[in-house]
Amino acid sequence: MKRQVLFVHGAGQGAHEADEKLAASLGDALGTNYEVRSPKMPDEDSPEIEVWKGRISEELAAIDGEVVLVGHSVGAFVLLEYLSEEAVEGPFAGLFLVAAPYVGTGGWEIHGYALQKDLASGLPERLPVFLYHGREDEVVPFEHLALYAEALPRATVRAFDGRGHQLDEDMSEVALDIKGL
């Protein structure tokens, strides 16, 4: 049976289409033992967090067994919101967050949204968490990575020189970490 990966794309006009290149890169790097699911999230132009969380619930309900969660940009933020604030049943193999915007003090201030102060305690116990960010990210400031590293002290942090928001459409490092679980 193939290991299941749920990839949640970012937000904005054409985000799913742009992030399909990331999902394809991840699938190629993981190989035939993995299945990468990359559903189009509702209203990607103006996402509503609760609606996206509902879609994630639907996707997880359709997957048997352990799942790897990968989020890019706003998709990463929504996955964190979902896992830290909902009574979610796994099993989850790991959480991989790429170019995640930090929403709250020091990061983006979005009215009505902020990650909980003790973010790490809201996540499932023993869930491996990985953070990835390009130093040349033109969308989410690189400084957001440090905010997440502080909020999630057990997370593995990977910073990439010369790479932007889409990590140059290369998810090979993420795939290596997934395979290493």
Q: pLDDT value at position 125?
A: 82
pLDDT in tens, 85-109: 887 877 999 999 999 999 888 888 7
Task: Please report how the helices 74-85 and 49-61 are oriented relative to each other, as an axis angle in degrees rounded to 10.
Answer: 70
- pLDDT band at residue 147 using 50, 70 and 90 as cut-offs: very high
Q: Contact, 79 vs 56, CB < 8 A?
A: yes
Domain boundaries of the chain, sorted by first residue: 3-179
CATH of 3-179 given 3.40.50.300, 3.10.20.30, 3.40.50.1820, 3.40.50.280: 3.40.50.1820
- pLDDT band at residue 6 using 50, 70 and 90 as cut-offs: very high
The model's pTM: 0.95
Residue 53 has which token pair?
């969380």
Number of other residues whose CB lies within 10 A of the CB of residue 63: 13
pLDDT in tens, 70-87: 999 999 999 998 998 887
